[in-house]
Amino acid sequence: MPGSIDKAPRHDDATGWSSTALRYQRGDTDPEHHHIEGQLLFATRGVMLVETEGHRWVIPPQRALWLPPLHIHSYTLLSQTDLRAVYFSTSLMAECTNFTKSDQVHVIHATALVKELIAGLFSVEYSGANQRKMALLLLEILSEASPLAAELPMPKDERLFCAARELLVGHRWEASLSDLAFIASMSERTFSRLFIKDTGFSFRNWKQRARICASLDLLANGIPIKQVAYQLGFSCPAAFTAAFRSILGLTPRHFLPSSAGLITPASS
């Protein structure tokens, strides 16, 4: 079967695709590398911080990231993560003539169908021929899916990025602007000014979005809303729900496993 438990994709042009399943701990990293194939990254559990050439993406379980062939990337795991990667040969991609965005890094909503197709590519219940059809259908869906805006834009300035990464990886939700400015070796005023310039958000608003992104992983794992709210430092579940709705346009309940796939979250 094309699926494997190591990182190296193994397929020929006749097969056209392969898959890899990996488990990471919070704080693990995978340094810069590239693949000769197109790659779809998806986490069944956990949140990834993926760095590509010129961009940084925070990917929760409700999202999937497309990486074109030969595109250099790296990633840091912001929580314990079960990663699924599907690789597509250029010949298989060529069969999907509608996939005009195949040369662009972009994020899509991982709908119930996308998740089922990815799961099917890791299953032993289907023949190779049927799995190849699944891989092609996945490419067709990618060709039609609208790219999503980044819910959590990451700073480009390396000093700001290191401070923001410390907050995300360390789950330091109590950290203040002063704490992050100290990590970045800046005055609070300089940190605040550069942070808005880089991300488009004040540090306070950005941290709010960071907490909401972190909540998506907890909700996907069935953690009760009340527990998620207090774990992320909100004063009460109502405050968490209000912040969640203001950023994603839906309530946290829509992202619990029992609601998975029923509603497509609004992009921000």
CA-based nearest residue to 177, from 196, 198, 151: 196
Contact 54, 45 (CB under 8 A): no
Task: Take residue 223 and report the two structure tokens written for it.
Answer: 């953690």
pLDDT of residue 62: 84
Place of tokens 């965005």: 101
pLDDT of residue 1: 34
User: What is the DSSP annotation of 100-131?
Assistant: TTTTS-EEEE--HHHHHHHHHHT-SSS-HHHH
Q: Give 252's DSSP letter.
A: G
pTM of the entire structure? 0.78
pLDDT of residue 266: 35
pLDDT of residue 4: 34
Q: Give 8's DSSP letter.
A: S
CA atoms within 13 A on the CB side of 146: 7
Distance CA 261, CA 239 (A): 25
Strands 63-67 vs 73-77: parallel, antiparallel or unpaired:
unpaired
Distance CA 233, CA 250 (A): 20
Place of tokens 């907890």: 218
Those residues of the chain that have pLDDT short of 70 are 1-11, 258-268
pLDDT, tens digit, for every residue of 199-231? 999 999 999 999 998 998 898 888 999 999 999
pLDDT of residue 17: 95
Distance CA 102, CA 90 (A): 10
pLDDT of residue 162: 94
pLDDT of residue 108: 93
pLDDT of residue 247: 87
- Residue partners of 49: CB distance under 8 A and separation at least 6: 56, 57, 58, 59, 75, 76, 77, 78, 154, 165, 168, 169
